[in-house]
């Protein structure tokens, strides 16, 4: 079995280079982590694409929380990101009552035109997780769902993550129409949680502050911290 996928959050080209040097397999590119990650600028997308040869998933999110806001603004930003060279994306919106906002999601997907994307941690704030998973089924290009198993983080959501991974396993190739996406474990993910997730078959991991000195967004990505994660996951090979 190949090593599980390691995705690292980057805010700029320096972060992306450090993540690649540390052994990351993919970048999630965002801005403003004080607001849980917003759409980066087109210039940053171009700089990161030029800096690394890893896949780069670019956030499409314009405001705090998981409400879509102005859908036309989201569509315009998605077009801007495409012109800047973005090829993979991250998005996910909820209605005020906590359901997946399918009209907003589908409006952005129309612009993305089948390109691969991740439904991000909005699922952890859905009123009904089962209903949220059902709503995502069959969305074009969807090949991953990022989750910590609940609102409080991976440590508290571990049982949920393992159960959902078991339920998803073997039910279709990611990205195919009607198929089930890959589950990515992330959101306050810490090193001790890697072992039970790996033992349970989870094969995709997402880290943010744990790839930075002192676990702080005030510091850039540290290749050595990324290498700790790459080595942890390499033990499953």
This model's pTM is above 0.85: yes
Structure token digits, residue 64: 């705090």
Q: What is the DSSP string of 134-166?
A: HHHTT-TTEEEEEE-SSTT-HHHHHHHHHHHHH
How high is the pLDDT of residue 36? 85
How high is the pLDDT of residue 35? 87
Residue 83 CB neighbour total at 10 angstroms: 11
How high is the pLDDT of residue 170? 61
How high is the pLDDT of residue 34? 86
How high is the pLDDT of residue 23? 97
* Residues whose CB is less than 8 angstroms from the CB of residue 108 and which lie 6 or more positions away in sequence, other chains included: 60, 71, 74, 75, 78, 91
Domains and CATH numbers, the chain: 5-234 (3.20.20.380)
How high is the pLDDT of residue 53? 97
pLDDT by 10-residue block (mean), the chain, 237 residues: 88 98 98 92 98 98 94 98 98 98 98 97 96 95 97 95 90 51 94 96 96 95 97 71
């Amino acid at each position: 079995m190949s090593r599980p996928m390691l995705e690292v959050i980057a805010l700029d080209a320096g972060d992306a280079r450090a993540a690649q040097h540390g052994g990351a397999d993919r970048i999630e590119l965002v801005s403003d982590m004080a607001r849980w990650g917003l759409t980066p600028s087109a210039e940053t997308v171009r700089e990161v694409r030029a800096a690394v040869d890893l896949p780069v998933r670019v956030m499409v999110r314009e405001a705090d929380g998981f409400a879509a806001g102005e859908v036309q603004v989201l569509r315009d930003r998605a077009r801007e990101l495409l012109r800047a060279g973005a090829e993979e994306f991250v998005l996910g919106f909820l209605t005020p009552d906590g359901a997946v906002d399918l009209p907003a999601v589908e409006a952005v997907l129309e612009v993305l035109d089948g390109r691969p994307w991740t439904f991000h941690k909005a699922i952890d704030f859905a009123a009904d997780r089962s209903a949220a998973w059902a709503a995502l089924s069959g969305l074009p290009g969807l090949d991953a769902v990022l989750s910590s198993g609940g609102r409080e983080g991976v440590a508290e959501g571990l049982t949920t993550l393992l159960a959902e991974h078991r339920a998803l396993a073997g039910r279709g190739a990611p990205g195919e129409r009607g198929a089930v996406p890959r589950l990515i474990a992330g959101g306050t993910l810490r090193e001790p949680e890697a072992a039970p997730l790996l033992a349970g078959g989870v094969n995709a991991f997402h880290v943010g502050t744990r790839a930075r000195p002192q676990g702080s967004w005030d510091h850039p990505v540290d290749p050595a911290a990324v290498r700790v994660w790459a080595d942890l996951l390499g033990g499953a090979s």
